[in-house]
Amino acid sequence: MARGPDEPLRVGVLASGAGTNLQALLDTVHGEEALVVAVAADKPAAEALRRARDAGIETAVFPLTDHPDRGARDAAIAAWLHHHDVELVVLAGYMALLTSPFLSRFPDAVVNVHPSLLPAFPGVRAIEQAIDYGVKVFGVTVHFVLDDGGVDTGPVIVQGAIEPADATDPAAVHAALRPLEHALLPRAVRLIARGAVSRDPDNPRRILVAATEAGDDTPARPRPA
């Protein structure tokens, strides 16, 4: 579906848990530059589903046990997202790896938020990896997901860093990183929706952000209690 110049970017979100990053999108870009039109989870009890339903957004659950294998499950998710004319897929705490056929249906249109300064500490337990390594600076990366066989290897869209006081407790570090996740993910979606993100023709791994948008830190609307 071709999007008109004044129409919001149609976003589908995949989540596995609490959905706080989904909530950040709903509180900021939803209904403005972007429109979250579909939210799917791999776990029926994912709190993200309730958040979506409360916002009047279509939801679906795709447990792996309902499908012959991961490829079949991913094909079902992709078909459901296409049915909702999704243009950008956001992985907001989605804990399952996506297969190649899924990614090939959404080329350069899947983004993920990861709790490290990639390329450092990719994959699972990123915060624990960083603590074990003894780093002092922790961060968040929003990046494109590529069909390259790697994990967290896609080009970086935006990043941010903090130096938490307690850098030995994974839960404390994650809590300190959450506000950064909730700021950077909507910013990345906003930039993509505005057409401000492109690949560097001299280095396809490098993402260029239009100069007029690079400093856009539009504050989020206050969240309801």
Annotated active-site positions, please? 114
Torsion angle, alpha carbons of 127, 182, 92, 120, to 10: -30
Strands 88-91 and 110-114: what pairing?
parallel
Q: Which helix (H) or strand (E) holds 22?
A: helix 20-27
Nearest C-alpha neighbor of 54 from the set 81, 90, 79, 23: 23
Q: How far apart are CA 204 and CA 135, in angstroms?
A: 29
Residue 143 CB burial class (10 angstroms; 0-12, 13-18, ≥19): buried
Nearest C-alpha neighbor of 62 from the set 94, 26, 87: 94
Strands 203-209 and 197-200: what pairing?
antiparallel
Cβ atoms of residues 127 and 174 within 8 Å: yes
- What is the distance, to the nearest Å, from the Cα of residue 85 to the centroid of all Cα atoms in its chain? 18
